[in-house]
Amino acid sequence: MRRRFKQVDVFGARPFLGNPVAVILDADGLADAEMASIATWTNLSETTFVLPPQGGGDYRLRIFTPRQELPFAGHPTLGSAHAFLEAEGKTAGAVGRLVQECAGGLVPVEIDAEYDGPGRMLSFEAPAIAATELPTPALNDLARALGTGSTFRLEALVMDVGPRWCVSGMPDGDSVARLVPDMGLLAALSHKFDLTGVTVFGRCSGSDPTLRVRSFAPAAGVPEDPACGSGNACVGAYLARTSGLLEVGARFTSIQGQEVGRDARLVVSVSPGMNQGGSRIDIAGRAITLVDGVIEA
- Residue 259 appears among annotated catalytic residues: no
Catalytic one of 46, 86, 101, 224: 46
Distance CA 75, CA 225 (A): 10
DSSP assignment of the chain equals -EEEEEEEEESBSSTTSSEEEEEESS-TT--HHHHHHHHHHHTSS-EEEEE--SSSSSEEEEEE-SS-EES--HHHHHHHHHHHHHHTT--GGG-SEEEEEETTEEEEEEE-TT--SSSEEEEEEPPP-EEEEPPHHHHHHHHHHHT-TTSS---EEEEESSSEEEEEE-SSHHHHHH----HHHHHHHHHHTT-SEEEEEEEPSSSSS-EEEEEEEGGGTEEEESS-HHHHHHHHHHHHHTTTHHHH-SEEEEEE-GGGT--EEEEEEEEE-SSTTSEEEEEEEEEEEEEEEEEE-
CB 9 within 8 A of CB 28: no
User: Which active-site residues does the annotation give?
Assistant: 46
